[in-house]
A and B are shown apart, each in its own frame.
Chain A
Amino acid sequence: MLASIGKLNRHQEKMAYVFITPTLLLFAIFTVIPVVMALYLSFTNYDVLSRMDWVALDNYKRLFKDSLYWTTFKNVIFYSIIFVPLNILFSLGLAMLMNFKRFGIRLFRTLNYLPTLTSAVAAATVWIWLLHPEFGLVNNILGWFGITGPAWLAQTETAMPSIIMVTLWQSIGSNMVIYIAGLQGVPDYLYESAKLDGASAFARFRYITWPQLRPTTFLISTMAIIGALQLFDQAFVLTQGGPGNVTKTPVYLIYQQGFKQLQMGYASAQAFVLAIAILIFSLINMRINKAEEPVV
């Protein structure tokens, strides 16, 4: 009896390896090897075509003196500080609105999800139009109220907020779906007993919904932070990093350095520092979210 269980376990173990092998292989080829290569290349002067000599820490030394690289970090951090909380606020708010069981609610959910389905570049192209200072829809609407709208994408003050607006519009749909799933996972008896105890709607949200959604919020905020640090498409299409470098992002710079200037070694160093930054921010986020364990 015991022996056959052992056999079964061994068999399951073997099968498990068979099943995970393809995924792990793909992961190794497309994730692990490139990361290791980037680390190695960041210590060389690799230029894709003719050179690859070991230059030790030269690329990193250059990186620390490169003011533009740190400007791009400042830009994405500014972006994240505004984007991540707003993203959580709007997607949770929408999810709570869309969580009622009413006739036609699915249609509304679908409509709210639609922006997520469009390609970032196509959506950004349309937004350039909407944000045009003289003929765009946004400024025309503002004009009805007697407000002269700014040149959204061309002014240093409004360029980054415009990008935040466009990326929010595009990302809250998918986060809303995740939040709806989270909300539907909260056990009803918690709400019922709270109601019996006379808890107000705000108290129910404060003490039941929000703590119960902690894992969901953790997932969404982590993804949003990673996405923010890797911002590229919208900044590339909407503003080309301008005006005055206020919307240039680290990924934009890596692309420029590697593929336009053929300095793959230096670009790899930039990419590696970015990867470490993402790791650090994710860890900080993890600590904040793990500070209180969820109830139940």
Chain B
Amino acid sequence: MKKWASIVLTAFMAVSLLAGCGSKETDSNTTAKGGASSSDKPVELAFWGDWAGEGQKQFETMVDAFNKSQNKIHVKYVLQQDMITKFMTTATSGGESPDLVFWDRWRTSLYAPKNVFHPIDEFMEQDKINKDDFYGEALKELSYDGKLYGLPLTVDARALFYNKKILDAAGVKPPTNWDELEQAAIKTTKWNGSKLEVAGFSLADNGLFNMYLQQTGGQMLDETGTKTNFNNEKGLEVLNFWDRLLNKDKVYKIGFEQGLGEGTDAFVTGKLAMQYTGPWMLSTYKKYGKDLDFGVVTPPVGPNGDKGSVMGGLGLVIPEGSKHQKEAWEFMKWWAANKDNALLWAKTSLNIPGFKPAIEDPFFQNDPLWKPFLDTLEFAKIRAQHPGYSVMEDDGLIPNLQLFQQNKMSAEEALAKSQQRGDQLLQDNAAVK
């Protein structure tokens, strides 16, 4: 029964794959095989990513630089819009696997237990790559069960963006702790009757609960990593803070930023004084906000002086199905573990590289907009490594936080419901080997 089913399934997936993938790919794959057999031709590597447009050009800059730097390996960037789905189908249907995949790191704990990636520990040892040269949290996010599966290309964390003009007009300095943040938000908010004209501080993203919780000294999951750990005084402290800002101080209105895209972003158009966001917005704000004079500071500390921010970012991984894992590692090493190349990538894409020596460059150290992020990265922590973590946040926590923000639930009730539902989701979505 099982065998029959998998044959039908494979056939079905093959049919859908034929429709999806063009003939180009098969071409490059046949040349790749030819390259492997004869020694004078370079080995062809397929590098999959889902960045199009500007991002594609940034990737191609790196790929071209690598291809020119030697003549044994030739990398080709293959744009896959629906990369994860395509990757899953090739992994199961025995199709030609890519040799490198551009990887959103937080997914590692969901995919790695299924043995679809090749661990790089041996390569690291052979080439004596120093793990301390990378952000530890980023490497942790690429690890599972003691094995390392890739190297980080970018690191990010959220910091506080503020509009200098609005803060100056209100006579406040960029806040350093929760109290100052609250006062600054109150002073910069402007209402016109029932219409909110300038919001002091954005409370749009409930997903930042994790970050606030760290600022009260809390953690999302307990020591076992299998149960939620926010239905306590620390969680309550966060919700009370939000409640004060939203309902008593009225520095924000639910739905205020919804649907305001790049060009009309509330922060760009001066309708928002302060918000938490990441370095990926720097280039957008420079591009769209010609009159926007903004600054960045590290996230204000909580009531007891705790610092907190959430680290994320992207990396490179080598699929287990790749036929040229050694060559793929050469490319990964060249890009992610070399100062000059990591810096080239950083300057091309305007991202903070995961390789620390590259960050010592004046490009980062002397820029007042980069510096707060570098400082934040020193204490930022990755999301908890549990395959059900994101689903716990999305379905267990955030809906209840939304009901709390709309006064449909008390803080205690919201936390209790989030815990009950969240623990269930963690259990249902735990990794089974």
Contacts and interface: CB of A to CB of B under 8 A. Distances in A.
Given A37-B8, A133-B253, A245-B399, A156 B406 contact: yes
A128 interface: yes
Interface stretch (B289-297, B370-378, B387-395): B387-395
B432 A49 contact: no
A174 to B, nearest CB: 26
Interface string A238-257: 00001111000000000010
A131 B254 CA distance: 13
Interface stretch (B111-119, B162-170, B171-179, B223-231): B111-119
Contacts, number: 111
A155 B406 contact: yes
Given A49-B111, A153-B258, A243-B399, A134 B9 contact: no
Interface in A48-65: 48-52, 54, 62
A129 B428 CA distance: 37
Interface residues of B, number: 45
Contact of A244 (B5, B194, B403): B403
B403 A155 contact: no
Given A49-B91, A133-B253, A134-B196, A33 B259 contact: no
A129 B116 CA distance: 42
B419 to A, nearest CB: 14
A77 interface: no
Interface string B419-433: 001000000110010
B88 A45 contact: no
A260 B6 CA distance: 21
Contacts of B338: none
Contact of A33 (B1, B12, B394): B12
B248 interface: no
Q: Which of B15, B84, B253, B402 has the most chain A CB atoms closer than 10 A to its own CB?
A: B402
B429 A244 contact: no
A151 interface: yes
B255 interface: yes
B259 A131 contact: yes
A235 B293 CA distance: 36
Contacts of A152: 255
B24 interface: no
B285 interface: no
B92 interface: yes
A134 to B, nearest CB: 6
A47 interface: yes
A262 B110 contact: yes
Contacts of A230: none
B258 A49 contact: no
A173 B132 CA distance: 62
A261 B391 contact: yes
Contacts of A136: 259
Contacts of A131: 259
B395 A260 contact: no
A33 B432 CA distance: 28
Given A48-B92, A155-B254, A243-B402, 9 more contacts: A37-B12, A49-B111, A50-B114, A54-B2, A128-B258, A134-B256, A154-B255, A242-B399, A242-B402
Interface of B: 1-2, 5-6, 8-9, 12, 15, 84-85, 88, 91-92, 110-111, 114-116, 194-196, 253-256, 258-260, 387-388, 390-391, 394-395, 398-400, 402-403, 406, 408, 421, 428-429, 432
- Which are the 9 A-B pairs with shortest beta-carbon distances? A154-B255, A151-B255, A128-B259, A243-B402, A49-B114, A244-B403, A50-B114, A245-B399, A148-B194
